[in-house]
């Protein structure tokens, strides 16, 4: 089982990201669980969402993820907020939306593996909006391979209807541009 924490701000779509990825994994015949950090989310406030994917076994645990295998950061401004970043497993992976260089980001987070992408730039260019969740799914897939990129198309179409195509394009572009090392 892989445990992923998505760290963003209310309104950035972190919960939706976890839900879309869970749907994609389930469509592939895997077991998945998406769980918001329960509560009345407020726009702009730090929000955690949780995602678990297991290739073979049904997921039983319902506790929050305290030490994730993967930490996906939607808003680089949150890197200094709270202790979320420090709870990443030592052999874990961080995936960060940032305009900083990949090498610079590697000095900021202690992680075994790092993935970076300018998701905000891509979202503004492709969607015309500063909402990075669907873009960051591309980074998540590139960095972890938890699902196939194509498996996200149906859940996105169901969720976004007319604007799904743009979101899928943003995801695909982020997949290409994400640097992993």
Partner 1 sequence: MKKEKVVGLEGSFAVSEAVRMANADVIAAYPITPQTHIVERLSEMVAEGELDAEFICVESEHSAMSACVGASAGGARVFTCTAGQGLELMHEVLYIPSSMRLPVVAVVANRALSAPLSVWCDHSDMMAVRDIGWIQMLAENNQQAFDLTLCAFRIAEDNEVLFPTMVHIDGFHLSHVIEDMRLPDAEEVAGFIPDYKHPFALDPDKPVSMGCYGPPFIYPETKRAQEVAFENVMPKILETWKVFGDRFGRYYAPVEKYRMEDAKIALLTMGSYSETAMLAIDELRAKGEDVGLIRLRLWRPFPFKEFREAVKGVEVLVVLDRCVSFGMGGPVCSEVKSALYDQQKKPHVVGFIGGLGGRDIPIEGFEYMIQSALEKVKAIERGEEVETEMIGIRE
Nearest approach, Cβ of 23 to partner 1 (angstroms)?
5
Nearest approach, Cβ of 56 to partner 1 (angstroms)?
12
Cα–Cα distances (Å) from 46 to 16, 88, 102, 125, in that order, read 15, 17, 24, 25
| HSE (side-chain half, CA atoms, 13 Å) at 4 | 30
Nearer to partner 1, 19 or 69 (CB): 19
What does the alpha-carbon distance between residue 136 and residue 142 come to, in Å, rounded to a whole number?
10
What does the alpha-carbon distance between residue 108 and residue 8 come to, in Å, rounded to a whole number?
17
Nearer to partner 1, 12 or 34 (CB): 34
Residues that bind partner 1 (CB under 8 A): 19, 22-23, 25-27, 29-36, 38-40, 58-64, 66
Nearest approach, Cβ of 37 to partner 1 (angstroms)?
9
Nearer to partner 1, 138 or 155 (CB): 155
């Amino acid at each position: 089982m892989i445990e992923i924490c998505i760290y963003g701000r209310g309104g950035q779509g972190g919960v939706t990201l976890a839900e879309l990825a869970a749907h994609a994994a389930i469509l592939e015949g895997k077991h998945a669980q998406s769980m918001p950090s329960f509560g009345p989310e407020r726009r702009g406030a730090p929000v955690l969402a949780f995602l678990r994917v297991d290739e073979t076994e049904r997921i039983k645990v319902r506790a929050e993820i305290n030490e994730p295998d993967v930490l996906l950061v939607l808003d680089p401004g949150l890197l200094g907020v709270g202790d979320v970043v420090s709870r990443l497993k030592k052999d874990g992976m961080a995936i960060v939306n940032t305009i900083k260089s990949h090498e610079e980001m590697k000095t900021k987070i202690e992680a075994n593996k790092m993935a970076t992408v300018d998701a905000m730039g891509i979202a503004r260019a492709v969607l015309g909006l500063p909402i990075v969740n669907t873009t960051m799914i591309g980074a998540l897939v590139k960095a972890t391979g938890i699902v196939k990129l194509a498996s996200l198309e149906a859940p996105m179409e169901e969720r976004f209807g007319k604007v799904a195509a743009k979101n899928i394009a943003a995801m695909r572009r982020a997949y290409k541009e994400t640097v992993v090392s």
